[in-house]
Homo-oligomer: A and B are copies of this chain.
């Protein structure tokens, strides 16, 4: 397969471009269906007419169905889309890219999804799906999964296939982070547990409270119990954020934010802020998984994409050789840029 594609790239490169274009269109229809011609053209930055021509073609090929309410992929279309992913993967030599990033970050594995999640929302969905598939593979009876909040992890949950598991427990990695209920760790925990028919426990802690209150809460028997189980979790899924964005989203005061940034914080993950060297220089006052425990967890899966997250990804050093990173093409290339210049 690799050989055929290499030959084709040499002899009919236009067609390979066309292949990518149609793949993008199919993918976008799939993730937004039912969707109209005009919104598609906006999403893809392609002229309306172009979309129209391509859609007409895809319709003739029986890959999309055109209804008055919008366009939908047919069964065939979904199948082709799935098969195209593999082709695109090989075409862009992601395997090679993955290995490169994996070696630079000195982690267990990197999974790269085509595209740029900043520019194309479906890429984030693909990342979620890729991550979900990976997690599904390593899940086993008795697994204790912990996860953080955030839009990326939300996509993992969203795209997690409904499966039935045995004796699996899902926990939030931290208590009450973020304001948007949809992407809070607790919400995601519950949703994932439902999808895989697992048990779950939640951690309810108010935002931005004093350290004394925090300690009191942490010593509550019920909370304490969860924290104990949490430290035994064998699978952690977490998103990586930029320090500037996350501190704002957490509702920190401008002074605090300034202090944080001036101290060199560039990344945030599971409540810790990291500087460029990968040192944890600040901890959000909350309860949850302990930084020093993370490095002993058997499977640590980070998810983050987009060029602007690259610096944060590089900075987030959990010092766990078992870490797996799910990211996108744009971030991967930028990570290489950052680390190879040094």
* Stoichiometry (number of copies): 2
CA distance A4 to B3 in the complex (A): 11
B-chain residues with CB within 8 Å of residue A80 when the two chains form the complex: 7, 10-11
B-chain residues with CB within 8 Å of residue A23 when the two chains form the complex: 11
| Candidates B12, B61, B87; contact of A4 at CB < 8 Å | B87
Q: Is the CB of A10 within 8 A of B61?
A: yes
CA distance A83 to B23 in the complex (A): 26
Counting CB contacts under 8 A, is A256 at the interface?
no
What count of chain A residues pass the 8 Å CB interface test? 22
Q: Is the CB of A19 within 8 A of B10?
A: no
Counting CB contacts under 8 A, is A8 at the interface?
yes
CB 8 Å contact bits of A1-32 with B (1 = contact, 0 = none): 10111011011111100110011000000000
Counting CB contacts under 8 A, is A323 at the interface?
no
Counting CB contacts under 8 A, is A63 at the interface?
yes
Counting CB contacts under 8 A, is A35 at the interface?
no
| Candidates B1, B11, B83; contact of A1 at CB < 8 Å | B1
Contact residues of A between 92 and 137, Cβ < 8 Å to B: none
CA distance A87 to B10 in the complex (A): 13
Q: Is the CB of A12 within 8 A of B18?
A: yes
Q: Is the CB of A19 within 8 A of B8?
A: yes
B-chain residues with CB within 8 Å of residue A10 when the two chains form the complex: 61, 63, 80
Counting CB contacts under 8 A, is A229 at the interface?
no
Instruction: Write the nearest CB–CB distance from A111 to chain B, whole angstroms.
Output: 22
Question: Which A residues are closer than 8 A to B by beta carbons?
Answer: 1, 3-5, 7-8, 10-15, 18-19, 22-23, 61, 63, 80, 83-84, 87
